[in-house]
Structures are given as structure tokens and as C-alpha cells.
């Protein structure tokens, strides 16, 4: 991810409904959520949500697929990972203890269950 892409991602996330949508999709996992369920979860009307989802999609943070008559949205984990890597790429400057809390937080998620591993 380059700086231009990171700026687009941060701009897309810099709005409360978009941030809520991404968090809901991350929580939902790879199966994603139908547009109506996502709109209800985020707390916006479906037509308003589609505007926000378009911005997130252009930023590479979510993806959409058709399932019959429904549109299912999912977090684009590769794009989200790229954004985290962009932030952490030059971390520490020789002082790994600076990045240790961020690395520990990322490692605390048990992706098999979705739970936070005990510290």
C-alpha cells in the first residue's frame, strides 16, 4: 500500500457510518452480511448506506458479491491488513518495545473463534 492508497482508506474510515460498517463486517467474518442486515446494524437507511459502501469499496476495504437477489458485503481483509502494515512498516526504529503493545493486540484475536485470547 502506498501513501495515496492509505489516504483514501483513512478518508473512507473517517466517517462514523463507514467505520461502523467496516467493524460490523470484520466481526461478521468472511461470510459477510446482507445489505439490509448491515444497514440495520450500522443504523442507516439502505439507500444512504450504499453511498458509504461505495466509498469503502473504492478504498479497497470491503467487497461485495451477489447471492441470489441479495448483495453480501464482506471486509476486504487483505486491504485492511495492508493498511495496518502501512502504519507499522517502519515501526520501532530499533526499539521493538515501542511496537510490542500493537503486535500483542493483533495477536490476541483467536481467529478460529473470534474471541480475544486471555492475556
Could you report the per-residue pLDDT of 3-24, keeping only the tens digit for each?
A: 999 999 999 999 999 999 999 9
CATH of the domain at 36: 1.10.10.10
Question: Which pTM was predicted?
Answer: 0.83
> Is residue 95 in some structural domain?
no
Range of the domain at 52: 3-78
In this structure, the number of other CB atoms found within 10 A of the CB of residue 6 comes to 16
Which set of grid coordinates corresponds to residue 77? 481483509
Burial letters for 57-79: b for 16+ Cβ neighbours within 10 Å, e otherwise? bebbbbbbeeeeeebbbbbbeeb
22 lies in some domain? yes
Domain annotation covers residue 106: no
Report whether 57 contacts 5 (CB < 8 A): no
Q: Considering the domain boundaries, does residue 12 fall inside one?
A: yes
Residue 118 is predicted with a pLDDT of: 47
Do residues 99 and 91 make contact, with C-beta atoms less than 8 angstroms apart?
yes
Whether 72 contacts 30, CB under 8 Å = no
Total domains, the chain: 1
Residue 108 domain flag: no
Q: Residue 88: what pLDDT?
A: 83
> Which pLDDT does position 119 carry in this prediction?
46
Residue 43 located in a structural domain: yes
Distance CA 2, CA 109 (A): 26
Domain membership flag for residue 104: no
Amino acid at each position: 500500500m502506498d501513501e495515496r492508497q492509505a489516504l483514501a482508506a483513512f478518508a473512507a474510515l473517517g466517517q462514523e457510518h463507514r467505520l461502523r460498517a467496516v467493524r460490523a463486517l470484520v466481526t461478521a467474518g468472511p461470510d459477510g452480511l446482507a445489505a439490509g442486515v448491515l444497514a440495520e446494524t450500522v443504523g442507516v437507511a439502505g439507500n444512504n448506506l450504499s453511498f458509504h459502501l461505495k466509498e469503502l469499496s473504492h478504498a479497497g476495504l470491503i467487497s461485495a458479491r451477489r447471492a441470489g437477489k441479495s448483495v453480501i458485503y464482506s471486509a476486504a481483509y487483505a486491504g485492511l491488513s495492508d493498511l495496518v502494515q502501512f502504519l507499522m512498516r517502519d515501526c520501532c526504529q530499533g526499539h521493538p518495545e515501542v511496537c510490542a503493545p500493537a503486535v500483542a493486540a493483533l495477536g490476541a484475536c483467536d481467529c478460529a473463534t473470534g474471541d480475544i485470547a486471555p492475556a
